[in-house]
C-alpha cells in the first residue's frame, strides 16, 4: 500500500521524469494482468431525464436548457443487437435517475438483452435505488453496476450535491451492490470545484477499502445552466496521474479511459491507456438521440455509427500497441 506521502508526491511532483515513471509503472501493472488487451463496452445513454440536482451536472433537474429524451425498450434492444453483430459482448446502460424506468421496466429490458444474447455482460448505471431494485435487476441478469462515489470526503460530497442527497446513501448503495454480487464500479471527478490533493488521497483510501472491480474517473468539465458553469475544468495531467495511482493500488482493476478525458485532450484515450487504463466505452447510442445526453459541455460526439466508432477506436489503439477486445472483459 502506498503511504499518503508517496501518493502526495506522485500527484504533485514537477519532475517530468518522475511522472513518466509513474505512468510506466501503472502501464506495466495493467499489462501484467491484461497484456495488450483494452476492453470495449458499448455505451447506450438511455435517458437524459433526472430527478436529482447534482450541482455539476448538465442533466440536473433544474437545468431548463437540457434537452430531455428517453429511448424505448425496442431501441435499446436494437442497439444491443447491432453491437452484438459487430462483436461487442459488453453493454452499459446509463442514464439520469429517470423514474419512468421503473424497477420492473428496467428488469424487463435487462431480461430482453440476456434472452437475445446470453453471452453478453450487462452493466447498469442509473444511480441510487433501494437494495430491492438492485436485487430485482441482478435476478434479471445484470452483471455490473457503475455508481461513482463522487467524493470520499463527506464535506466535499455535501458541497457538490444538494441537501437532499447524502453521502451515506451513496455508500449504502455501493455496499448493497457488492453484496448482491455485482461487479461494482465507483469513482469520482478530477478537478471539481473545491477538490484537493488531500481529498484524492481519501478517494484512493476508499477505493482500497471497497475493493471495486471498476473505477471510473474523468476530469470535471463545466456544464452550461448549472451552478458550476463558470468553474474551470479539471486538468488532464492530474487525471492521468490519478489513473496511474489508482492502477498501482490494483493491477486487476477495470479502469476506463473516459470520454471526459478524451474531450479535454485530443489524444485522451491513448494517454489514458498509456497511464494504465484498460477499458474504453464507445458510444453506441442511436444517432437520433446522440448529443442530447449532455452531462457537460463540448462532449466529444461523433456522427459515426457503432461500426465506425469501433473502427476508429481500434485504429487509435493499434498505434499504441493495444488490441481492442470485444469480449465480456470480466475482472480477472
Rounded to a whole number of angstroms, the minimum distance from the CB of residue 111 to ligand SAH is: 21
Q: Look up cell 442530447; give the residue.
A: 292
Residue 231 contacts ligand SAH per CB under 6 A: no
Q: How far apart are CA 183 and CA 215, in angstroms?
A: 11
Binding site for ligand SF4 (CB under 6 A): 50, 52, 54, 57, 59-60, 96-97, 127
Q: By CB under 6 A, name the one of 296, 313, 314, 324 that touches ligand SAH.
A: 296
Q: How far apart are CA 313 and CA 323, in angstroms?
A: 10
Whole-Å CA distances, 142 to 114, 133, 134, 210, 269: 9, 11, 9, 20, 27
Under 8 Å between Cβ of 276 and 19: no
- Residue 280, exposed/middle/buried by CB under 10 A (0-12, 13-18, 19+)? buried
Spatial strand order in the sheet of 183-190: 42-47, 90-95, 121-125, 144-146, 183-190, 214-219
Residue 96 contacts ligand SAH per CB under 6 A: yes
Query: Of ligand SF4, ligand SAH, none, which one does residue 148 interact with (CB within 5 to 8 Å by kind)?
Result: ligand SAH
Nearer to ligand SAH, 147 or 245 (CB): 147
Query: Of ligand SF4, ligand SAH, none, which one does residue 255 interact with (CB within 5 to 8 Å by kind)?
Result: none
Residue 56 contacts ligand SAH per CB under 6 A: yes
Nearer to ligand SF4, 42 or 187 (CB): 187
- 79: helix, coil or strand? helix
Report the Cα–Cα distance between both ends of the chain, in Å, rounded: 20
Rounded to a whole number of angstroms, the minimum distance from the CB of residue 217 to ligand SAH is: 8
- 318: helix, coil or strand? helix
Query: Of ligand SAH, ligand SF4, none, which one does residue 147 interact with (CB within 5 to 8 Å by kind)?
Result: ligand SAH
Q: How far apart are CA 124 and CA 59, in angstroms?
A: 18
Query: Of ligand SAH, ligand SF4, none, which one does residue 60 interact with (CB within 5 to 8 Å by kind)?
Result: ligand SF4
Q: Considering only 15-23, 69-77, 142-150, 167-175, which stretch makes contact with ligand SAH by CB under 6 A?
A: 142-150
Cα dihedral: 201, 156, 65, 291 (round 10) = 20
Query: Of ligand SAH, ligand SF4, none, which one does residue 221 interact with (CB within 5 to 8 Å by kind)?
Result: ligand SAH
Binding residues (CB under 6 A) for ligand SAH: these are 56-57, 94, 96-97, 125, 127, 147-148, 150, 189, 218, 220-221, 223, 260, 295-296
Amino acid at each position: 500500500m502506498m503511504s499518503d506521502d508517496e501518493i502526495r508526491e506522485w500527484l504533485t511532483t514537477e519532475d517530468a521524469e518522475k511522472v513518466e515513471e509513474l505512468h510506466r509503472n501503472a502501464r506495466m501493472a495493467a499489462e501484467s494482468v491484461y497484456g495488450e488487451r483494452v476492453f470495449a463496452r458499448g455505451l447506450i445513454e438511455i435517458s437524459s431525464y433526472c430527478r436529482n440536482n447534482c450541482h455539476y451536472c448538465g442533466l440536473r433537474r433544474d437545468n431548463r436548457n437540457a434537452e430531455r429524451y428517453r429511448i424505448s425498450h425496442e431501441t435499446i434492444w436494437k442497439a444491443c443487437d447491432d453491437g452484438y453483430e459487430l462483436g461487442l459482448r459488453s453493454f452499459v446502460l446509463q442514464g439520469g435517475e429517470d423514474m419512468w424506468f421503473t424497477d420492473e421496466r428496467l428488469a424487463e429490458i435487462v431480461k430482453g438483452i440476456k434472452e437475445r444474447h446470453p453471452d453478453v455482460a450487462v452493466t447498469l448505471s442509473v444511480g441510487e435505488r433501494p437494495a430491492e431494485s438492485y436485487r430485482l435487476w441482478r435476478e434479471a441478469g445484470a452483471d455490473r453496476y457503475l455508481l461513482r462515489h463522487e467524493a470520499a470526503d463527506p464535506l466535499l460530497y455535501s458541497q457538490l450535491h444538494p441537501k437532499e442527497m447524502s453521502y451515506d446513501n451513496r455508500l449504502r448503495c455501493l455496499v448493497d451492490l457488492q453484496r448482491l454480487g455485482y461487479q461494482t464500479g465507483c469513482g469520482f471527478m478530477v478537478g471539481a470545484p473545491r477538490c484537493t490533493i488531500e481529498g484524492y488521497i481519501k478517494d484512493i483510501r476508499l477505493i482500497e477499502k471497497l475493493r471495486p472491480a471498476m473505477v471510473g474517473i474523468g476530469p470535471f468539465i463545466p456544464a452550461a445552466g448549472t451552478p458550476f458553469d463558470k468553474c474551470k475544468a479539471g486538468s488532464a495531467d492530474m487525471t492521468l496521474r490519478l489513473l496511474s495511482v489508482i492502477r498501482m493500488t490494483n493491477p486487476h482493476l477495470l479502469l476506463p479511459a473516459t470520454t471526459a478525458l478524451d474531450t479535454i485532450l485530443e489524444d485522451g484515450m491513448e494517454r489514458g491507456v498509456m497511464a494504465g487504463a484498460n477499458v474504453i466505452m464507445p458510444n453506441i447510442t442511436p444517432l437520433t438521440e446522440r448529443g442530447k445526453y449532455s452531462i457537460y459541455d463540448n462532449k466529444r460526439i461523433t456522427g459515426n455509427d457503432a461500426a465506425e466508432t469501433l473502427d476508429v477506436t481500434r485504429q487509435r489503439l493499434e498505434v499504441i500497441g493495444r488490441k481492442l477486445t470485444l469480449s465480456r472483459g470480466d475482472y480477472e
